[in-house]
A = this chain, B = another copy of it.
Amino acid sequence: MPATIRDVARASGVHISTVSRTFSAPHLVNPETRVRVLACAEDLGYRPNRAARALITGRTHNIGLIVADIANPFFPPLIKAAEGQARHRDYHVFVADTNEDPVAEEDLVHALAKQVDGVLLCSPRMSNSLIEQVSREVPVVVINRQVAGLPCVMMDVGQGARAAIEHLLGLGHRRIALLGGPRGSWTAREMRRAATAAARSGSAELTVLGPNQPTETGGGALAEQVRRSGVTAVLAYNDLMAIGLIEGLDALGTRVPHDVSVVGVDDIALSSITRPKLTTVATPTAAAGRTAVDMLLQLDSDAPRGARGRGAAAGDRRTTAQVMLQTELVVRDSTGPVPAPGRDGTGA
């Protein structure tokens, strides 16, 4: 039923190679011929068979995007940006969701490897060595993590965490908790490192709680622990946890920011809607998505791995660009001055 290149060739009275060139190298075919071929193709509803094309060129014109949890509002803007950028370059994006599971992650990247030209690993939970291994099988760009020798696009959460802690210090807080992220998260490690350093240089005490699930539930589950710990401020791994925590504290009668200040990370859309509006570290997620796609496609055009590829002779120079995008503290209503001492912050 579907028209092939042969049907078009017959209809327009040229050889199939001319039809092929009409689509993949238009400048090589006579304008008159081209319009005739295009007309016939249009007429027959012909669309090049991507499988056949992929078989010979070695490129699928698809890229894979693996995220930890598509339901986490942090990811959709990144996905949209990546999709847009890819589409713009005539690529499509496979989105896959690992449910925060490193094993599912590995399975997915293998399953995807054979049908995409490259993979974007977004906030990977697997080990660096596994990532390196995977990168030998398929071109990879890593988002939200630093892996030596691999192209990465990161957001400067270290700087963000520092800014958040300094903001809290400025409000007088000296007992601060850090709600850690999921096990295996580079971002979580970076935040911890930077927050610890910033707290120390401000002579504040930093309590690390975690690792945790980076969701509302994960944040809410820590409310009791936060209250008991006697801290007056909290920096959460992300906005979702911050929101869950605020909710949980509220249920315990502890008010934010009156009794406890809370800072999130990501600046998801939700954060400017919930009450109180969340003070947070804004991350440039859309830019990260676009940049990562560009880097992957760049990588891809540098080192062709097609059927006709000449081997690895040329591709060895390994660009391995590593991009660090800036973050920014957005102060809203969930942070305030440290409460007067004497009360213990339970709000009772």
Per-residue contact bits, chain A 67-102, to B (CB 8 Å; 1 contact, 0 not): 000110100110110010000000011111101000
Q: Is the interface of A mostly helix, strand, loop or mixed?
A: mixed
| Chain A interface residue count, Cβ-Cβ cutoff 8 angstroms | 47
Kindly identify which residue among B1, B80, B97, B114 contacts A71, using a CB–CB cutoff of 8 Å: B80
Q: Is A274 an interface residue (CB 8 A)?
A: yes
Q: Which parts of A176-216 form the interface with B (CB within 8 Å)?
A: 216
Q: Is A159 an interface residue (CB 8 A)?
A: no
Determine if A247 and B269 form an interchain contact, defined as CB atoms under 8 angstroms apart.
no
The answer to whether residues A269 and B71 also contact, given A47-B110, A92-B96 and a CB cut-off of 8 A, is: yes
Report the minimal beta-carbon distance from A281 to chain B, rounded to whole angstroms.
20
Considering only residues 195-251 of chain A, those with a C-beta below 8 Å from chain B are 216, 243-244, 247
Is A51 engaged at the interface, CB distance under 8 Å to the other chain?
yes
A96 cross-chain contacts in B, Cβ below 8 A? 83, 92-93
A54 within 8 A of B: yes
**Quick check: B50 and A52 within 8 Å, CB to CB?**
no
Say if the beta carbon of A111 comes within 8 Å of chain B.
yes
**Which residues of A does B touch, CB under 8 Å?**
1, 45, 47-52, 54-55, 60, 62, 70-71, 73, 76-77, 79-80, 83, 92-97, 99, 110-115, 137, 216, 243-244, 247, 269-270, 273-275, 305, 309, 311-312
